[in-house]
Each structure stands twice: as structure tokens, then as C-alpha cells.
């Protein structure tokens, strides 16, 4: 499960993220309204957890914006406010559930898992682009009948590219999928990873499938 946590309290966010990691839930964190908005729009998550009070806006406003963008990911509002009108406002903004601070971590986990089950992500298990074949469950990759071995990061990158085949995906979007919130998007790690994947997927094969669009991002297609 992939979860977006939008919480401006860095200490609380770290504690929540660590606990979720122990439950085998992958966490991407945002500390402000703007960062939460960008990650929610660009990323693909099973559940979003929003704090109400955020720098640059409120969780209510962010929840409403997410819904206006057509994103149906389940949203859990997390806040110290416990007034009935705040709970109602959160639900009217498009939230699916509401949990007030302080809370028992076991209850947070139970609510997150319940939301994830309510809105399971349905995606193809196999992708075929030209003579490239990617099987997600078995993590099997073949090009023109040749089996290709990838590292975990290389496979994560390829998985995201094939899921968006024919579409230009930005550096920010790729970073949100392949790395966690601790990754520095201004390093050249992504370029290095793309070069490694291109050597394995494209070198010696036709047509070339991984394309760089300067200033825009990357596209997989022919």
C-alpha cells in the first residue's frame, strides 16, 4: 500500500511514517498545502492522510481541490480539532474518514487499511509495448524474447513508465513513485537510473522505447 501523509509537524510525521513502514505501508510525506497538492496530483496513492492546519492552506481546501481534480483516492482527515462542525466540514469537503489527535496508532492503522480495502487499486498485471513485455506480479521483463534482469529501482522506474506509456512523465512524478520523501530531486540520481535502464531495455533492440524530452521529462513508447 502507498500512502501520502500531509502533516506539517515534522516530529509527528516522522513517528507516523516510521510506524506505517513497520506495517509495510510505503509512505510519501508532504509538509505544506502546496507540496501535498503536487504529490497528490502527480502521485498514485492508495490512501491520503491530511492534517487540517497546513502552511499555505487548510486540509479542507486541499481535500476539496483533490476531489475537484477527479482524484478518488480515499482521504483520512487527521487533526487536533474535535468539534462536530469540523468533522462535518471535512466530510463535506470529500474526506472519507476523520481521526482526531491524540489517537491510538492501532486505530490509525485500522482506519488506513479499511480505506485501502474500500478503494482497491485495479491495474493491469502485464504490459506490452512493442516487443517489450513487463509482468508486474512476477517482476519479469523481456525484450524481443530476451529475459532482462533489473534492480528494484530499475523495475520501479520501468513499471511507472509502462503504466504511463505514450505519456510524458515529469521528474517530479517519477521521483514521487520511485523514491520516498527523503530523495533530493535536484541530484542526478534519476538521470543515472534512466541511463542504466536504457542500456538494459534499449541497447541492442529496436525500436528505441525510452525517450528524453528536455525540460519536460521522459516518455516510453515508439
What percent of the chain has a predicted confidence (pLDDT) above 90?
48
Query: For strand 140-143 and strand 146-148, is the pairing parallel, antiparallel, or unpaired?
Result: antiparallel
Q: State yes or no: pLDDT of 175 exceeds 60.
A: yes
Nearest to 8 by CA among 60, 45, 57: 57
* CA dihedral sign, ordered 11, 100, 93, 72: positive
Q: Are residues 138 and 114 in the same domain?
A: no
Q: Is the pLDDT of residue 176 over 80?
A: no
Question: How much of the chain is helix, strand and coil, in % rounded to 5?
Answer: 40, 25, 35
- DSSP single-letter state for residue 143: E
* Domain coverage including residue 62: 2-118
What pLDDT does 27 receive? 87
Among 118, 139, 161, the domain-final residue is 118
Q: For 78-91, what is the mean pLDDT?
A: 76
- In terms of domains, do 84 and 164 share one? no
Residues 91 and 65 in one domain: yes
Q: Are residues 113 and 193 in the same domain?
A: no
Residues 165, 80 share a domain: no
Mean pLDDT of 204-218: 93
Residue range 10-68, pLDDT digits in tens: 899 999 988 888 887 888 889 999 999 988 887 778 899 999 889 999 999 999 999 99
The values of phi and psi at residue 119, to 5°, are -135, 65
Answer whether 30's CB lies under 8 Å from 5's CB: yes
Q: Mean pLDDT across the stretch 183-205?
A: 86
Whole-number pLDDT of residue 70: 87
pLDDT at 139: 92
- Do residues 103 and 9 share a domain? yes
C-alpha cell of residue 214: 528536455
The residue count of the chain comes to: 222
What does the alpha-carbon distance between residue 85 and residue 92 come to, in Å, rounded to a whole number? 10
Q: Under a CB-based contact definition with an 8 Å cutoff, are residues 85 and 60 in contact?
A: no
Residues 183 and 161 in one domain: yes
Residues 91 and 160 in one domain: no
Q: Does the structure show a pLDDT above 60 at 203?
A: yes
Question: For the chain, what is the mean pLDDT?
Answer: 87
Residue 12 CB neighbour total at 10 angstroms: 14
The total number of structural domains in the chain stands at 2
> Do 12 and 93 reside in the same domain of the chain?
yes
Q: Which of 70, 89, 118 is the last residue of a domain?
A: 118
In this structure, the answer to whether residues 99 and 25 fall within a common structural domain is: yes
- For residue 167, name the pLDDT band (cuts at 50, 70, 90): confident
Q: What is the pLDDT of residues 96-122, one digit of tens each?
A: 998 888 888 999 999 998 888 876 555
- What is the structure's pLDDT at 91? 84
Q: Which residues contact 73 (CB under 8 A, 6 or more apart)?
A: 4, 40, 45, 46, 47, 48, 66, 119
Residue 82 confidence (pLDDT): 67
- Where among 118, 139, 165 does a domain terminate? 118
Amino acid at each position: 500500500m502507498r500512502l501520502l501523509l500531509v502533516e506539517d509537524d515534522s516530529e509527528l510525521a516522522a513517528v507516523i511514517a516510521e510506524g506505517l513502514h513497520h506495517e509495510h505501508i510505503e509512505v510519501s510525506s508532504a509538509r505544506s498545502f502546496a507540496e501535498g497538492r503536487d504529490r497528490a496530483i502527480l502521485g498514485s496513492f492508495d490512501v491520503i492522510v491530511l492534517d487540517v492546519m497546513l502552511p499555505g492552506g487548510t486540509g479542507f481546501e486541499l481535500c476539496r481541490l483533490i476531489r475537484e481534480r477527479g482524484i478518488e483516492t480515499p482521504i483520512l482527515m487527521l487533526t487536533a480539532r474535535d468539534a462536530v462542525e469540523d468533522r462535518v466540514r471535512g466530510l463535506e469537503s470529500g474526506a472519507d474518514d476523520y481521526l482526531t489527535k491524540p489517537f491510538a496508532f492501532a486505530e490509525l492503522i485500522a482506519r488506513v487499511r479499511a480505506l485501502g480495502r474500500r478503494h482497491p487499486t485495479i491495474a493491469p498485471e502485464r504490459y506490452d509495448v512493442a516487443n517489450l513485455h513487463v509482468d508486474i506480479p512476477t517482476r519479469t521483463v523481456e525484450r524481443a524474447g530476451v529475459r532482462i534482469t533489473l534492480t528494484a529501482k530499475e523495475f520501479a522506474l520501468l513499471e511507472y513508465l509502462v503504466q504511463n506509456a505514450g505519456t510524458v512523465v515529469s521528474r517530479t512524478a517519477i521521483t514521487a513513485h520511485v523514491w520516498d520523501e527523503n530523495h533530493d530531486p535536484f541530484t542526478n540520481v534519476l538521470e543515472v537510473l534512466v541511463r542504466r535502464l536504457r542500456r538494459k531495455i534499449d541497447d541492442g533492440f529496436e525500436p528505441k522505447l525510452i525517450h528524453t524530452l528536455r525540460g519536460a521529462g521522459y516518455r516510453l513508447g515508439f
